[in-house]
Structures are given as C-alpha cells and as structure tokens.
Structure 1
Amino acid sequence: MALHESIAQSDPLHAWIWPAEPESPQTGRGGHAGGDDFGGSNSDGLAERRRSPGGTAHFQSESQSQPTGRAGQSESPPRTESFRMRIVLQARPRGIALVIVMMVIVVLGVLAADFALSMKVETKLAKNVDSESDLEWLGRSGVEYARWILAQQLNCPNEPYDSLSQAWAGGPGGPCSTNGPLADVEREVHLGNGSFTWKIIDLERKVNINFANRQMIQQALDSMGVDRFDVDTVLDSIEDWRDPDSHPHVNGAESDYYLNLPRPYVAKDGPFDDLSELLLVRGITPEIFWGPGGANRSRPTGRSAAGIGAGSLDSTFAYGLADLFNTLGRLQININTASVGVLQLLPGIDRNLAEGIVKLRAGLDDVDGTDDDTPFHSPGELINVPGMIPTFVSQLSRYAAVRSFTFEVQVDVTKDQYQRRLVALLFRNGPRDVQVLNMHWE
C-alpha cells in the first residue's frame, strides 16, 4: 500500500491505475487474504472492477461474485469491499498559452515595424542619392545662368553702370533688358523635374574691411552710436589683429591678451578672411557686429565683450558692422548700390549728404530698383546732390565708383521635396571673362 501511495504522489497516471485499498485487519495488507501474494481465495487474485452509475469506480472481489463451493461449511455472508479510486491531479497554470501567443505577436509586430522603418530609410537614402546629382547640376546651371546675365549687362553701351534697377539686381531693367538678350531673363528657371531661383548681390555695395582705413572704421562706429571709449578699444584692436607685427596699440590687444582668456587663442596678424572674425577682436560685441537684434544672436566665442564699457552692452545701434563691411570686393564702393550707412564712410559725407545721394538715384518715387531710377553714370555726377561741396567730389573719386566687379550668387534649387542653396563668388573682368572664384553648399 505504501508503494501504491508513493507512486500516486509521483505519477498521476499510476494513481488512476493503482487504487488505494484499506488495510485488512486479518492480513495486515490491503486486499491480501490468507497470506496469498495477490489476495483472496482465487489463484489469480484479481478483483473485478465495476463502475457505478454515478461514475465511481468500485472493485469487488471474486469471492463475492461466485460461491465458494465447499461442502459442509456454511456460507459466510458475502463480504463486499468497495474501493474508491484516489485520483491526484496536478494543478496546471491557466492562460499561459494566451500569454505566449500575445508575446509572439508583439515580438513579430516590433520586428515588422523595424523592418518597415529600415526599408523607408533605405528608400529615402536611395532617392537622396539620385536627387543629389540632379541638385548639383541644377545649382551649377544657376551659377552659369548668373554668369551669362552679368556678361550680357556689360554689352549694354547705354548703361555704363551697375544699379539696383537692372535685371541682374532683380529690377525691371534698362533699355538692354527690353530690347536685348536680357529681355527674356527669368527669375525661376525649370529644368526637367527640378527648378532653381537665383539672386545676385554685388559686393562693392559694402567696404572691404581689409582696405578700410582707420578713419572709415571710426566713422562707422560713430554713426552707429558706439561709446567713444569703446571706439578707441575697437579701432586699436582691429589694427592689431590685421597688422603683421605683435606690438599692441595703446588700447589694442595682441596674442598675449587673447591667450589669457578662458578660451585662449592667438591674434591673426593678417587680413580678415571672414567678417565673423571681428567677433574675436577685443571690444566687438554681437550688438556692435550685428546691430539690431545682436543681443539675441549666439555669441560664438563668449570673449568679444572683454574690455568694453557697460554702455555699449545696453545700447541699441541703428545697424552693425556686418551691414557696412565685408572681406571681398575692391576698395571703391558702388554709389548706385551702397546704402546710406555705407555712403557715410566716404570722406566728407555725412548722413544728410548720404540720404541725398540715395534720393537722387532713386527717382521720383524715392524707391530704389524701380523704373524711374536715375543711376549715376560717373562719380562726378555727385555734384548734383544738394549740399555737396565741389572739393568733396574730387576726393570721392578715389573711394567711389559706378561699377561693381565682385558678385555673390545665391542659387536655390528644388527637386521634388528637396531644397538646397548653392552660393558662388564671381569676379567680372569683362563680357567674356566672368570667373567663378569658389562655390559651396549651405
């Protein structure tokens, strides 16, 4: 019996096969009569299993189902022993299959989403590769188109000047733009599946900082409204930055000053390659460099404010050095395209004379770049400006001109949903000589 119970505990299947029998008082072993190995008076010792209508399994010995057949002995009352099976079922967790299926579905969904995203990225990259070549050629086409426009402008004998009313500057154009090749100039050009727009800016409308003398820079700072003490610091520091020696001016700075800053660097001691280098010069703040809104712009080095007065930090200037200077172009500025602020940098020109120059060239509507513009044909025509002193006119010929030679071209290309800008620098020597100095993508 102990063997049966141990089997029932370890294996539910044997628990169904081996019933748990009560222990007999005569034999001491359940179901074993007379000391037989298999119990009962029958040699086989097998019990008949019956199933009750209620589904309960019972075992009945053969001695009850058949008479003993022994003579001279009274039949004892039949002994009925019913045994109920002990079925031990192990508890099984429910819902595990559903959890496994849900986990598999989630994993497959994540893999499918990752695969779809990868395919989308790969497809977009492939399209970008195909579009990159098209965008490149669209940009180069825009640069060539600008070169052709600038060359054709020099072929106009009736327009010996460059002004904002001409086709290259986006104006309506003069006689050559109505009766010549420039009559069909388009602002937006479509090529294949793409298009480009162009914009040409002459660089002689500003003063080259590398050619500007001390008086020009001082005039720029004074017209902006920079404090006098700060003006001396900026002037000397600019001179120390671009001169080849390492000897500082009284209010300037050389490498020994810049090397002691939190982020040290050395003075260039050479010409400015990019106008943003001014932000590295002692005394020049973003407000001085950019003008209005300069305080909201990022401060690239965090060191340009060193050594300046507190008044400049709180001032709002009418414009900044970036509106007046560049690092390209010739010494002479174009009086047909220069702004009022740039014209004030010319010797002897104050704000009133500068505004008179702009008003005279703008025509009756006082707006540059319209049909009624009257550009200057030569610097000598400045004598017609009200209040102009004749002696100033002779002095201005050194710094003023009516032609531009250096141009910046901005070409915005579009193909499908892709847009890029190509910037090129052109130098025009003549109708057949318009050189591309450099190009880069923004």
Structure 2
Amino acid sequence: MKARASGDRGLSLVLVLWLLALMFLIAPGFVYTMRIESAATSSFEDEASAWALAVAGVYMAAAEVSADYEVVASSESGLVFLERTADGFHPLPSRRDLKMGEGTVSYVIEDERAKVNLNTAPRGVIDELLRLSGADSAARDEISDSIIDWRDKNSDFHLNGAEDDYYGSLPFPYGSKDGPFDFTEELLLVKGVSREIFYGAGGESGIRRLVTVHGDGRLNLNTAGETALSAVYGPGVANEILLRRKTDGFMTIRSHGGLVTSEFFVATSTGEKGGIRYTIEAAIAKKPGGKDAVFISWREHGVGYR
C-alpha cells in the first residue's frame, strides 16, 4: 500500500509539473492577446472621441458662419468675420484651436468665394488659372476644352475636349457628365487633368485649393489670392485690389463686379485623442438674409488624413 501511495504521489507531481509547464507556455500568449484587445479597445475609444471632437469643430465653424457679419476678410491667422458697429468694422470673436477634456479640436474655414468657380468660369479664366499654376500650353488647351465639355449639357466636343466617345474608350470606361461639377475632385475624371496638376508637384501647388463648385462665380475681393484675382481680372486689377487690401486691411465697398463678403465656406475640422486624428470636411452655406447656416456637403476623411 505504501509503495502504491508513493507511486500515486509521484504521478501527481509529474501531472502538476506538466500543468505548470503548459501554463508557462500559454500565459505569454494569453497576456499578449489581452494586451492587444486592450490596445484595440483603447484605440477604438480614442477614435470615437476624435470623431466626436471633429464633429464639434464643424459645428463651431457653422456657428461662426451663422454670425451677423457684413465683411469677410483674410488675416495671417485665417478668415476674419467683421461686423459693422457705430465706430466702424470690428472682428467677431473666434477660437479655432481648442482643448476639450483629454483631446483637442482644430478647424480651418476657407472662403469658397476666394476661388474660381468650375461651373461658371469662362474658358479664358480656366486657361489663365492653369497657366498661372504652371500648366503648359498643350495641357491648358486640352483641360480647358474638356472642362467645358464635361459641364455643358450637349454631346458636342470642342477642338481639344472630350465627350462620351473618349471616356468610353478608357480601360475603365465612364461617360461625360454633361452637368455641373458637384465636387472639385471630379476634375480628376476630366481629360488631361493629372494628379500632379490637381494636387501639385515639383514645386507647383496645383489647382485643388484654387477652384470651387459653390456660389455664382463672383469673387470675394477681400479673400481671393493673387492667382484667382489675376485669372479673373488680369494682373493690373489684381495688383490694385491687393494693394488696397495691404493699405486698408480690407475692403468694405464692392468693385469690379466682386464682393466684400461671402456666404459659402468649407470647414475642415480635425479632432485628436490619444495620438489618433480624425478629419471631417463640410461645405457650409449661410442662408440669404438670415443668421442660419446649412450644411451642403459632409465628407468624413477619417483617420490619418492630411
């Protein structure tokens, strides 16, 4: 009996040792899995927080657009909304870089009236904008004609343009839109428009930030840059407007068919939490004669957008 009991104890000891060895093998994998799951949960929570912060930034931008202002001008820190008071024009308060809890939100407001309108610009303005952006003569002719063909309602094509026959012959065929542009990125579908021309390359900035699909085509003389002003009015008038802005800070009286305010904007808002950045871009329009603003487009670029 004693020999059998001793044998049982020996077998039990072997089993315990085997179980301990098995635990040592399993434990690191279990701990690693738990860490991965914990990190994933934390990452998901941070992304959700970053999204919420980005949404908050878009609505803060909409609140600025909804304010009672008469002039929209440019400054080193971005757009300035100015209200008329008894002693002149004064900027409305603005905060575009905020800390909220353990995260941050920052947003930028762009004036769409500072840009050339793809849906209304004459061919000559499009050609000049492309020239000022670094495109050569052949590319300008092809792109200018193709933009007109893309947005007009007929199926006739200009000398250097394109309609369904061209687009249908591509490796991944599609048709000419024959209607107005809804997003500036549609330009990448137009014959002749390369990513380099749109986004920029080799020291050239591209036309992405110089064009818009919102508004009626009239520029805000206070916010349009030299390239847009020169494309629309020519270098002489552009220099005159820029000099007046430099001298006076901003213009309060319309001239040259342009405006001194705006009601169409794009807000790009980025929320950040735990190193995760989430970006939302929204087009905002101020209702005529009122203080309300409406969203006319909402695009979530998500995590990692630059």
Question: Normalising by structure 1, what TM-score?
Answer: 0.55
Which amino acid in 1 is paired with 2:212? N
The structure with the largest strand share of the pair is 2
Aligned partner of residue 163 in structure 1, secondary structure: strand
Contact 1:208–1:331 (CA<8 Å) still a contact in 2?
yes
The one-character-per-residue Cα deviations of 1:164-210 (angstroms, maximum 9, x if unpaired) are: 13987269x7887xx98944x43332333333222211111101201
Which amino acid in 2 is paired with 1:428? K
2:78 matches 1:219? no
Larger Rg computed on CA atoms? 1
2:114 counterpart residue number? 205
2:11 counterpart residue number? none
2:281 counterpart residue number? 423
Which amino acid in 2 is paired with 1:161? V
Aligned partner of residue 164 in structure 1, secondary structure: strand
2:31 counterpart residue number? 116
2:171 counterpart residue number? 262
Rounded Cα–Cα distance in structure 1 between residues aligned with 2:187 and 2:91? 42
Which amino acid in 2 is paired with 1:290? Y
The one-character-per-residue Cα deviations of 1:25-49 (angstroms, maximum 9, x if unpaired) are: xxxxxxxxxxxxxxxxxxxxxxxxx
Question: Normalising by structure 2, what TM-score?
Answer: 0.77
Unaligned runs of at least 5 residues, structure 1: 1-100, 155-159, 294-315, 364-372, 381-395
Contact 2:149–2:156 (CA<8 Å) still a contact in 1?
yes
Contact 2:107–2:270 (CA<8 Å) still a contact in 1?
yes
2:285 matches 1:376? no
Aligned partner of residue 293 in structure 2, secondary structure: strand
Which amino acid in 1 is paired with 2:251? F
1:250 counterpart residue number? 159
Cα drift, residue 270 of structure 1: 2.0
**Higher relative contact order (CA closer than 8 Å, sequence separation 6+):** 2
2:300 counterpart residue number? 441
1:403 counterpart residue number? 261
1:165 counterpart residue number? 75
Contact 2:119–2:181 (CA<8 Å) still a contact in 1?
yes
Contact 1:167–1:182 (CA<8 Å) still a contact in 2?
no
Contact 2:83–2:91 (CA<8 Å) still a contact in 1?
no
2:210 matches 1:324? yes
Rounded Cα–Cα distance in structure 2 between residues aligned with 1:152 and 1:116? 54
Contact 1:165–1:174 (CA<8 Å) still a contact in 2?
no
Cα drift, residue 426 of structure 1: 1.2
1:27 counterpart residue number? none
Which amino acid in 1 is paired with 2:120? F
Cα drift, residue 132 of structure 1: 4.7
Which amino acid in 2 is paired with 1:424? A
Aligned partner of residue 334 in structure 1, secondary structure: coil
2:272 matches 1:362? no
Aligned partner of residue 333 in structure 1, secondary structure: coil
Cα drift, residue 341 of structure 1: 0.6
Aligned partner of residue 231 in structure 2, secondary structure: coil
Aligned partner of residue 272 in structure 1, secondary structure: coil
Rounded Cα–Cα distance in structure 2 between residues aligned with 1:356 and 1:221? 22
Change over 3 Å in CA distance of 1:174–1:109 after alignment to 2: farther
The one-character-per-residue Cα deviations of 1:307-366 (angstroms, maximum 9, x if unpaired) are: xxxxxxxxx7x55332421222332111100011100122xx322431332232023xxx
Aligned partner of residue 250 in structure 1, secondary structure: coil
Contact 1:149–1:168 (CA<8 Å) still a contact in 2?
no
Rounded Cα–Cα distance in structure 1 between residues aligned with 2:246 and 2:23? 71
2:8 counterpart residue number? none
Rounded Cα–Cα distance in structure 1 between residues aligned with 2:91 and 2:205? 38
1:313 counterpart residue number? none
Aligned partner of residue 169 in structure 1, secondary structure: strand
Change over 3 Å in CA distance of 1:265–1:440 after alignment to 2: closer
Correspondent of 2:140 among 231, 235, 239: 231
Rounded Cα–Cα distance in structure 2 between residues aligned with 1:256 and 1:426? 36
Aligned partner of residue 269 in structure 1, secondary structure: coil
1:296 counterpart residue number? none
Correspondent of 1:186 among 81, 95, 103: 95
Aligned-residue Cα RMSD (Å) equals: 3.3
1:93 counterpart residue number? none
The one-character-per-residue Cα deviations of 1:131-154 (angstroms, maximum 9, x if unpaired) are: 455334323322232222233352
The one-character-per-residue Cα deviations of 1:394-423 (angstroms, maximum 9, x if unpaired) are: xx31xx111111111122222333332222
Aligned length: 281
Rounded Cα–Cα distance in structure 2 between residues aligned with 1:337 and 1:243? 29
Between the two proteins, what is the percent identity of the paired residues?
30
Contact 1:291–1:320 (CA<8 Å) still a contact in 2?
yes
